[in-house]
Structure 1
Amino acid sequence: MFEGLVDSASRAEMADAEIDAAIAAWTDAIASASAHRLLLIAEKTSRNYDDDWECQDDTEAAWNSAAAEVSLASRISHGRASGDMEVGLALTRLPRIAAAFLAGQISEFLVRRIVHRTANIQDTDVLAKVEDEIIERAVYWGGLSKQKLDDAIDVWVDRHDPAALRRTRARVRDRGVTITESKEGVTEIIARLKGPDAALYWRRLTLMAQGVCPNDPRTLDQRRADAHGAIGAGFFHLACECGSPDCAAAVDDGRGSHVVVHIYAEKAALTAQPDPLTNGENSDGPGSSATEGCDDTESCEDPEGSGVTAQADRRAVHLRPPPGVIVGFGHVPAEEIAARIAGGASRRHVKAPGIEPQPRYRPSAALDEWVRARDLTCRFPQCDRPAAYADFDHTVPWPVGPTHASCGKLLCRQHHLAKTFWAGWSDVQHQDGTIVWTTPAGRTYTTRPGSALLFPSVSTVSAPIDTPAPVPTSADKIRTMPTRRKRNRARAIGYRIKAERALNDAYVAERNKPTPF
């Protein structure tokens, strides 16, 4: 155990200088621990390949199998595990950087930036020269911002191998749309667009927002935000929410009636009413609080002498119907579900599956729907791929395993193929939908249905059923696994580096052209 570890009583007695020293020591320890972890990940990764792994066609499956084990051992997503594997392997090409990292002299953040900015250097001798230049200075770079740090690294990459620069000026190639995690019923969408496209999009949102009557309670920004939902439904107009039956703009905009979005919720969520306070300007003025007149830290006795305090009343006021969830987008307040239903959305209660197995490979629509409502996401550990994009998987392969809720679950396509083709992996399913996974190394991980985590009052138990043990997957089966990649991982990385270096060469050539008179 680290020597600087102290309990709360001892920390309270430490002088400021001692606290600063302990913070510095723990910072070094964290860096060293991160270095050990990444290099162990690199060792784990390299054991999945032969010496000529860059020429093998089945490396994508081997990579993903290793990434799955790293993901579970690190308690991170598959994508982050794959990224850590790439960083770990890159560190084996940067021995001096790795040594400083192990000694706690440089941080993980700095190391990841060095790995990223030097990734296009293919010549090992050139890479060694760049590493020598960087390592002499990197210990002083800890306080730099991300941009300044990248610039400091690029100075030496540009000096020794200009074609290897990671050009940020090609920003237009990074355009795309990112949806962030939903918080309190609101999801952020970040769109990186070309300038003309952004202008067209903003103009369309504004026209839609201005198409309602003056009595609409929403602000202009709120109407622009709601216009996204109408565009998603295929409409270019926004329904007015003034509430008047005679309003010419109160026409259906498809946000409730023309789009199928599965919002999973308990029955109690359907008892809510639309919340009128979600529109208009924010107000913290007098009368806005349901508990006005009582201090939050005091209990005010009920004047009728019932003994019920204002604090208890205050808690009762905030007891809301449970929220629903759109898988992949987060919680949906019950009031918003009610608003969608009022706008024309239909609701359907999921029926529990029957006791007897179904005599076919594909589950019925009712069974498939129930399993999707139970699982909500892919059931592989650390995977949160939504149910809408997952396959029904027989825990014991058909026809030995029956088509039944107690022997079936959701797996995304990658993990469905993985379970079928990766050697050494196995899973056992319990009656309540709990899955126990075992890795090739013998470690076990347990996943529980998403509905059991989000809706505690909902039962996930299905009828018991006897199933035989599955037949272990042979080691050679991974070589027959289908892949969507045109190239294996090593070739794909090499292709990206070659393409980026070619762009840099073209940029330098264009810059060096003589200026015509």
Structure 2
Amino acid sequence: MRPALHTTNVESVFEQILTAVADARGPGAGVRACARLENAACAARLGFMADMLAVAYAASGSADREQWRCDNWSAVCAQIGAAHAVTSGVVSGLLMDAVTLRERLPKVAAVFADGLIAYRLVHMICTRTMLVKDADALRALDSELAEALRTWGAKSFDQSEDDVDALVLLHDPLALRRGESSSRGHHVDVAAEPATGTSYVTATVSATDGEAFDRRLDALARTVCSRDPRDLDQRRAAAVGAVGFGWDRLPCLCENDDCDAAAKPAAGGVVIHVVARREASDANSDGGPSDSDGPREPEPEPEREPTRDLTAQRRALAGKRPPLLPRPWHSFTLTGLVGALEDGRGELCTVGPATILGGAVIPAPVAAQAAMYATVRELIHPGQAPPEPRYRPSRRLAEFVRCRDQTCRFPGCTKPSTSADIDHTIPYPYGPTCASNLACLCREHHLLKTFWPGWSSRQYPDGRIVWTDPEGIVTTTYPGSRLLFPELCVPTAEFTNRRPPLKHTEGLTMPKRTTTRARARRQRIDDERRRNADDLNGSELEPPGETPQW
């Protein structure tokens, strides 16, 4: 990355496009003009991101910081992420495209700056051309792509990708990004669906591992008694969780006192932290307000559907799906069928949802089901308690801070608080160990706050943190519990502090990388080019002229 700034002049482009937006004679023309404006604005934004990285590299001591655990790239990503309220991982991808356009594909960048192509296409081009190393080949590829993009026409994304690959193959056969390079090997993906209490698991494993996993699920599904309300598929699904928790059996849901399989299995070393109201952990709760700590839920309005027992809602999660209609559909008239399908208006539950720390929001019945075999511990708000006379917070105080914050408190970061550091906003002993001075920060943003000059934060008794970046831009983050559990954000005790020392920015105690980010990136490119060369050499060794057998 060149240290000199090279910010594209976008004023004339914007004026031209804005004129087209104002002069649009119909909705279709307006959509087209606004799309071009959006593309040009995205190009300008990436240009400013590249400028920010250039400033970081031009700063004094930049070379020494390249091997810091929180290096120049990380610091720029954090600053951009704070401004956009997105994760550093998302910003890293944007910044990589910005650098590629600035340093490798300036003519494609010019087409993008004119608003003629969308960012999705630009990202694909940056990715598919990443392995080209020869300068002459890269210049020729940039020129041909830029010329083609101005008359690209209406193409599907797959067609565009094929055309870009064809040009890459023409100029540098070893630079083609092969599909098997991204999908090679086995993987397991777990994706939580917000607010439903379910997750989707997809995996590719070896045949033997798959067979063993299949048999294990069957074995665990059959450890319950015959009165368990779930069918085999539901029990196999529950067995996935049992495997995750390291249980040797599946807890039975029959809820009979004489069931030997209903006891909670021995812990397997995996802990999932769920924050829920007390009513959700009570198997006999009716879903209404109780005398638990925290605000009382409002009474249901008279015209609403009557509140149903939370225990009944929990039990409804297992067993056969209720019939859609009370009798066969062909026995209804058309009007009666429509009325029967619209008859169910849902059920009201006044118990609020629960949250997995740093994860999904789950409905109260799902939380109640999980609480049947969980260790339930009451969360204590510290109130106006004085600071603790030590550096490390007590277990009770640490649990409160993690449950209040939910995630890392740096702007845009979503890493769960369970894996984050509990940081003193004002360093100890200048700042006390109390809830008003403690916040969860992931390791990367903890290092950024501690060592990088220009960053500062101020925490308030209600958990708010006001961040100021090196350019003086202010961003406020709020505790993750603020919406669902506002009682956790009730102000805690204020404190007075001595003035903390200046930041230590010499890097003497900053953890170091084994290699710089740039060197690691070059190594990955070389490795993939080497695999491509091996594939090409292998194809050349195949006997020529053989007719394929079908």
Q: When the two structures are superposed, what TM-score results if normalisation uses the length of structure 1? A: 0.84
CA gap of 1:281–1:154, structure 2 versus 1, over 3 A, is: farther
The equivalent residue for 1:233 is 245
1:160 paired residue among 152, 171, 175: 171
For 2:265 and 2:156, the matched residues in 1 are separated by 45
Conserved? CA contact 2:255–2:262, under 8 Å: no
Q: Distance in 2 between matches of 1:134 and 1:206?
A: 55
Q: Which AA in structure 2 matches 1:90?
A: T
Match of 1:447 in 2: 477
Q: Does 1:324 align with 2:354?
A: yes
User: Residues 336-351 of structure 1 correspond to what in structure 2 (within 5 A)?
Assistant: 336-342=366-372, 344-351=373-380
Residue 147 of structure 2 corresponds to: 136
Match of 1:491 among 504, 507, 519: 519
* Structure-to-structure mapping, 1:71-470, within 5 angstroms: 71-92=81-102, 93-139=104-150, 141=152, 143-173=154-184, 175-183=186-194, 184-209=196-221, 216-235=228-247, 237-243=249-255, 250=261, 252=263, 254=265, 260-270=271-281, 271=285, 272-273=310-311, 275-283=314-322, 285-286=324-325, 317-342=347-372, 344-353=373-382, 355-470=385-500
> Is the partner of 2:56 in helix, strand or coil?
coil
Give the letter for the 1:386 counterpart: P
Query: Does the CA contact (< 8 Å) of 2:404 and 2:480 recur in 1?
Result: yes
Cα root mean square deviation, aligned: 3.4
Matched AA of 1:505:
A
Residue 108 and residue 133 in structure 1: after superposition, are their counterparts in 2 closer, same or farther (change >3 A)?
same
CA distance in 1 between counterparts of 2:182 and 2:497 reads 54
When residues 255 and 262 of structure 1 are mapped into structure 2, their CA distance, relative to the original with a 3 A threshold, is farther
Preserved CA contact (<8 Å) 1:449 1:460: no
1:352-395: per-residue Cα shift (whole Å, max 9, x none)?
A: 33622222211111221221122121111111211110111111
- Number of the residue aligned with 2:43: 35
Query: Residue type matched to 1:348 in 2?
Result: R
Q: How many residues align?
A: 487
The answer to whether the 8 A contact 1:266-1:458 is kept is no
Match of 2:537 in 1: 509
Distance apart, 1:252 and its partner CA: 4.9
TM-score normalised by L of structure 2? 0.79
Judge conservation of contact 1:61–1:478 (CA < 8 Å) in 2. no
Structure 1's unaligned 5+ residue stretches are 299-309
Q: Which amino acid aligns with 2:90?
A: R
Residues 30 and 104, structure 1, Cα contact 8 Å, conserved in 2? yes
C-alpha deviation, 1:441, in angstroms: 0.4
Contact 2:87 2:412 in 1 (8 A): yes
Contact kept? 2:218, 2:236, Cα under 8 Å: yes
Q: Aligned residue for 2:34?
A: 26
Q: Which residue is equivalent to 1:305?
A: none
CA offsets 1:137-193 (integer angstroms, 9 cap, x no match) = 334556544443322211111121111121112355353333324321112233243
In the superposition, relative to structure 1, how do residues 498 and 257 fare at CA in structure 2: closer, same or farther (>3 Å)?
Answer: closer
User: What one-letter code is carried by the residue in structure 2 that aligns with 1:352?
Assistant: H
Identity %: 36
- Paired with 1:114 and 1:54, the residues of 2 have a C-alpha distance of 30
Asked if the contact 2:245/2:271 (under 8 Å) is kept, the reply is no
Name the CA shift for 1:355/1:96 in 2 (closer, same or farther; >3 Å). same
Answer whether contact 1:451 1:460 (CA < 8 A) is retained.
Answer: no
- Which whole-Å CA distance do the structure 2 matches of 1:141 and 1:189 have between them? 39
For residues 212 and 156 of structure 2, the distance between their equivalents in structure 1, rounded to whole angstroms, comes to 34
Q: Are 2:86 and 2:411, in contact at CA under 8 Å, matched by a contact in 1?
A: no
CA–CA distance in structure 1, aligned partners of residues 270 and 511 of structure 2: 34
Shift of 1:60: 4.8
User: What is the CA–CA distance in structure 1 between the aligned matches of 2:454 and 2:259, rounded to whole Å?
Assistant: 65
